[in-house]
A and B are shown apart, each in its own frame.
Chain A
Amino acid sequence: MSYTGWIILTASLVGLSCSLIGVFLILRKMAMMADAISHTVLLGIVVAFLVTRELSGPHMLIGAVIAGLITALLVQWLYQLEIEQHASIGIVFTTLFALGVILISTSVGNAHLDVQHALMGEITFIPWETITLPLIGNVPEATALLAIVLIIILISIIAFYKEWKLTSFDPALAASLGIPVVLMHYLFMSLVSITTVASFDAVGAIMVVAMLITPAASAYLWTDKLSVMLVLSGIFGVISAVTGYIIAARIDTSISASMAFATGIIFLISFISSPKHGLVSKYTRPSISSLR
C-alpha cells in the first residue's frame, strides 16, 4: 500500500475506535474522564518503557491499561473523600501526567519518546515503523496495533451490548439485577485506555479527546437509537479522519489538528441542522412541551 494509503487507513482506524468508545463516554457522562485518561496513559507508556526498555505494542497496551485503571481508582477514591468529582479528575490526571513528563525528561529522554510527540502525535512517521505479520506482510506497527484494538472494542461492544446499555442508562437497576456494574466500569476504563494509547502515535493525547468525544456528541444529535448512534458515530469518526488528512495535505499543516478540526465542523453541522435536536428544527418545529 502507498504511503498516503497507510496514513489514511491509520487515521480511519483511530477515528473508528475512538468514536465507538466515545458513544459510551457520552452516555455515561464521562467525557472528562477521557481527557484524564488520554493524559495519564503517558505515564503508563513511560513506566512500561522504563521496565522493559522497549516501545512495543503489547507493553504499551498493558502500561496504558494499568495507568487508566489507576486514574479511575484514584478519582473514585478522592471522590469518596468528599472532593468534588471534576476536581478529583483534574487533580489526578494533571499529577500523573506531570509525573510522566518529568520521567521522560529525566530518565527516558531519547528519540522515541518526547513530550511534543506524546501531545500532538505524528502520523506522518507511522508508515516507516513497520513489522512483518504472517499472511499480511509488512504493516506499520501503529496500524496493526490499532486494528487489534478495534477488534477488541468491537467484540466487547457486541458481546456485552445490553450490559453496556443498561449500566449506562440505569446502573442501579443493573446492580439490582446482578450485573457487575463496578467491574463493567473498570473494563470500560480499560477500553478507553487501550484506545487512547493505540491512537497516541497518530494523533497524540490532546487530539485523541476530540476523536473520542466529538463524533459521538454529533451522532447523539441525530438519533434516538443506541445502535444507530454507534454506527453514525463511527461514520463521523472515519469522515473526520479522512477529511482531516485531505485538509492537512491541501494547506500543509498538522494532520492531527486538521482531523480534530474536522470533528468540530461535523459537530457544528449537526448542531445546526439535525432534525431532532438541531438549532434550525427548534424554530421550524413545534416544541414537545407545547404538544403535551
Chain B
Amino acid sequence: MSKTVLKVENLTASYRKNYVLEDVNFEIAQGSLTGIVGPNGAGKSTLIKTLLRLHPPITGTVDFYGLPFKDAQRVIGYVPQRGSVDWDFPTNALDVVVMGLYGKIGWLKRPSKAHKRLAYEALQKMGMETYANRQISQLSGGQQQRVFLARALVQDADFYFMDEPLAGVDAATEKAIMAILKELKSYGKTVMVVHHDLQTVEDYFDHVLFLNRTVVKHGKTLQVFTKENITKTYGGNLRIHFAEEESHVVHPL
C-alpha cells in the first residue's frame, strides 16, 4: 500500500453565498493519477483552488504529506485553466516557463542563465523549443497549454494539480500532455487533473474522483468507473452528455 500524500476531511467552501463544496472527504495515494470528473458547476475547479488555499474554505482540514498546505507549498505545482490568464500579456513562451521558477529564485533576484536553461529544457520536453521566443498571443491553444505544462515541469513539484489541461487542445497536444503525466507518475509524483471528457477517463487515469458538490465516488478507475456512478454524478443528463462527447469525436479540429 503506497502512502497517503493528501488527506481531505469535511471540506466545505462557498462561492458568493452558494455552497459549492459540501463535506468533501478523500485521500490520495502517492504516485496516483486521478481524474476529477463531474458536471458543470460541480465545483471541480473550486476544489483545486480550495485545496491550494486560492479560495477560502469554510470548514475542513487539508493535509499534504501530513503537513498543512503552507509547509508543503514548495512541493506542490499548479496548472491553472488556460483561459484564466491574459494571453495578450507582453511576454514570450520562455519567459512564462521561467515564471514557474520565481518561487525558487526568491525575492530581489533575477532569473539567471541556469534558470533560463531549465526553462528551455522544459519547453524542449513539450516539443515547444522552436517557439521559445514567440509572443504568447501568437501561440495556438494547444501550444499555450504546452507552455503551461512546461512551466509546471520546471517547478519540479511532487504533487501536481491541473485544471482542464486537455480542454480545447489539438490531438497531438493531448497525446504529448498525457505522455508527460504518465512520466510524472512513473517518477512517483502524484497528479490530480480536472477532466471533462468521460470517453477518455479509462485510458488516461488510474483513479477517478466523481464530484458533484461532494465526492460521489472515489477509487480505482477499474472499480468505480461504472455507468451507475456516472449516472449518480451527472444525474439524468447522462445521455445528452454522451451525445455531446460523441460530437467532439466526430468533429475534431
Where the two chains meet, the residues of A that have a C-beta atom closer than 8 Å to any C-beta of B are 27, 29, 80, 82, 159-163, 165-166, 168-170, 172-179, 220, 223-226, 228-229, 288, 292
Contacts and interface: CB of A to CB of B under 8 A. Distances in A.
B91 A176 contact: no
* Majority secondary structure of chain A interface residues (helix, strand, loop or mixed): helix
Interface residues of B, number: 35
Given A159-B108, A162-B111, A175-B54, A224 B91 contact: yes
B84 interface: yes
A172 B91 contact: no
A176 B111 contact: no
B90, B107, B110 interface centre (most CB from chain A within 10 Å): B90
B33 to A, nearest CB: 20
Interface stretch (B2-10, B97-105, B234-242): B97-105
Contacts of B99: 162, 165-166, 169-170, 173
Closest 6 CB pairs of A and B: A177-B103, A176-B78, A224-B135, A172-B80, A169-B89, A170-B85
Given A82-B16, A159-B108, A176-B78, A226 B90 contact: yes
A137 B90 CA distance: 42
Contacts of A226: 89-91
A165 B91 CA distance: 9
Interface string B58-78: 000000000000000110111
B102 A229 contact: no
Contacts of A80: 16
A162 B98 CA distance: 10
Given A224-B135, A225-B91, A288-B138, A162 B105 contact: yes
Nearest to A27: B89
B221 interface: no
A152 B80 CA distance: 33
A221 to B, nearest CB: 11
A140 B10 CA distance: 63
B17, B73, B99, B107 interface centre (most CB from chain A within 10 Å): B99
Contacts of B80: 170, 172-173
Contacts of A162: 99, 102, 105, 110-111
Contacts of B52: 175-176
